Amino acid sequence: MGYSYIEFLKDLKMGREIHFSYKEENYYIGELNFWRFNDEASEIEGEDSNDLLCEDMDYHANFKCDIHDDPFECPDKVIIYDKQDNDYGLVIHDGGSSSISINFCPWCSTKL
């Protein structure tokens, strides 16, 4: 029998650290933060949820265009990240500065 989501939440509320592997990297998550272990001798503490983005989401969320200063003018900019609200959005390329908020990665479906 597997480890259920309810059990996961219960363990987090009790203050337990949960170990999991994602794309061949090891992570530990606690109630308020998470850690990524590159190997047995090193530890990196994550500062925010960006540390767990998949490769595609990381690329698109952090994409900087060499031609366009305004991300809404760049046709290659498809994801916008608002650091203040910790919010991701799909850029709407209609000449304005609109985006549609997303809660899951469009590439790997991980909750953002």
SS3 99: strand
pLDDT, tens digit, 9 for 90 and up, residues 28-43: 676 555 666 555 444 4
Identity of the highest mean pLDDT range in 1-5, 22-26, 52-56: 52-56
Residue ranges of the domains in the chain? 1-47, 49-112
Summarize pLDDT for 68-87 with one digit per residue, the tens: 999 999 999 999 988 888 78
On whether the pTM is more than 0.75, the answer is no
The answer to whether 62 and 78 have CB atoms below 8 angstroms apart is: no
Closest CA to 112 of 91, 72, 84, 81: 81
